[in-house]
Amino acid sequence: MSFDSSRPFTRGQACSAGITPGQLRGPRFRLLLRGVYVGSEVTPTIQVRACAALLIHPVGAYLSHHTAAVLQGLPVPPSAVVHISVGSAADRRPQPGIADHVATSVVEVTDVGGLPVCSGPSLFVGLASVLHLVDLVVVGDAMVRRGLTTIADLTRAAESGPRLGSRAAALVRERVDSPMETRIRLLLILAGFPEPVVNAIVADRYRPDLCWPKLRLIVEYDGRHHRDDLDQWDHDIERREWFESHGWTILTVVARDVFQRPAETIGRIYAAWLRAGGGSFRLRDDWRAHFATN
């Protein structure tokens, strides 16, 4: 049987297949980690790098933290390394490209494309040790939206982990459709606004991202796809006209409003809040610790 170089393999496996050290250093192969290779035609995706990292760890190791989240399609900040958790410090195999973690409790592990991956509330608790509050709530919202866990399960699991996990679990909500919806909601809450309703059903036909129904005030995120998709654009125009004809005010927020000018965005929404008849309140600065300022 011919040697399969489309999957990561160790130097020892290569030698057993008759591949010399000189050949491993040649153009046919790509070095992934110290002692682990793959065919040069293979793109080193996260799946390939994760498989390579598992090869040098003992049985029982599993992919965790950022890597586990990415493999399950969850939104997390990028990480240049593969995160792996092991049962004891002796099982760690530290080297460039790998972040080893020692598991301190029993976790839920599932199979994703043939790879052992931390999942469910265990993943959320693990991420609480490496993410900031907003990013952690983004992940929690996405997990609940996809049915990978529940708010109740996150809350229970977070009690035994870092304090940040409990704080984030208390802010996770159901029916959140995108990471930007989460970020806008948290920006408002941390600035002192009463919490808006997430994806409320209005007139049995529309679901605004965030709203205060009594004030008929809506805050919505407009991503680039809304402008690139003509059918979506037509729908958005029709939808906006319906809301405005029924006395609603819609404030549109784009990515730059959150990432580059959050202070101005808070001020704009607060002005609309007052115009809509909302009572005045003192804006807080808690958001500044979590969102970049100009």
Q: Which pair of tokens denotes residue 34?
A: 């110290």
Measured from the Cβ of residue 70, the count of other Cβ atoms closer than 10 Å reads 20
Q: Which residue's structure tokens are 């965005």?
A: 265
Write down the pLDDT at residue 271. Answer: 98
Provide Rg for the chain, Cα atoms: 24
Distance (Å) of CA 265 to CA 123, 236, 271, 272:
32, 21, 10, 11
Query: Going edge to edge, which strands form the sheet with 98-102?
Result: 98-102, 82-86, 62-63, 115-118, 109-112
Write down the pLDDT at residue 236. Answer: 78
Q: At the topology level of CATH, where does 179-289 sit?
A: Endonuclease; Chain A (3.40.960)
Q: What are phi and psi of 277, to 5 degrees?
A: 100, 10
Q: Report the C-alpha gap between 21 and 28 in whole angstroms.
A: 12
Q: What are the domain boundaries of the chain?
A: 45-169, 179-289
Q: What are phi and psi of 11, to 5 degrees?
A: -60, -40
Write down the pLDDT at residue 85. Answer: 97
Q: Per-residue confidence of the chain (294 residues) as pLDDT tens digits?
A: 478 999 999 999 999 999 999 999 999 999 999 999 999 999 999 999 999 999 999 999 999 999 999 999 999 999 999 999 999 999 999 999 999 999 988 899 999 999 999 999 999 999 999 999 999 999 999 999 999 999 999 999 999 889 999 999 999 999 999 999 999 999 999 999 999 999 999 988 899 999 999 999 999 998 765 556 666 677 778 888 999 999 999 999 999 999 999 999 999 999 999 999 999 999 999 999 999 875
